[in-house]
Amino acid sequence: MSIRIDKDKCISCGKCIKVCPGSLLYKNEDNKAYIKYEDSCWGCTACLKECGSSAITYFLGNDIGGAGGAMKVKREGQYWQWEIKSTDNKTHTVKINTKESNKY
């Protein structure tokens, strides 16, 4: 399980670095974020949610039944818009209302 950061989209804000609970993210010589310890990422998705540039992709590995699909997220007001791309290139969208996420 790991994430990948698109350096072209990264605006060097450093927010992902601050929120990663495992201190796995750092900046490179170009001031762009990167993951230093890929194998240690447990997929909490905190960095994805913090990145306002949607520069981070989360890969769904076999360990969680994802078979290599990928996931991104974008904040739209009170909603999280999750985009999940499966290996057959199909895209699924899941919209989460943050105001109701702790309702049940």
Binding site for ligand SF4 (CB under 6 A): 3, 5, 10-16, 19-20, 22, 24-25, 33, 35, 41-47, 50-51, 53, 55-56
Nearest in space to 34 (alpha carbons), one of 63, 51, 73, 72: 51
Question: Which residue stretches of the chain are H helix?
Answer: 15-19, 46-50
Determine how many CB atoms are found less than 10 A away from the CB of residue 22: 12
Determine how many CB atoms are found less than 10 A away from the CB of residue 72: 18
- Taking the complex as a whole, the smallest distance from the CB of residue 84 to ligand SF4 amounts, in Å, to 15
> Which residue's CB is nearer to ligand SF4, number 14 or number 61?
14
- Given a contact cutoff of 8 angstroms between Cβ atoms, the answer to whether 24 and 41 are in contact is yes
- Taking the complex as a whole, the smallest distance from the CB of residue 1 to ligand SF4 amounts, in Å, to 8
- Taking the complex as a whole, the smallest distance from the CB of residue 61 to ligand SF4 amounts, in Å, to 12
> Which residue's CB is nearer to ligand SF4, number 6 or number 85?
6
> Which residue's CB is nearer to ligand SF4, number 40 or number 99?
40
> Which residue's CB is nearer to ligand SF4, number 40 or number 98?
40
Nearest in space to 80 (alpha carbons), one of 42, 46, 43: 46
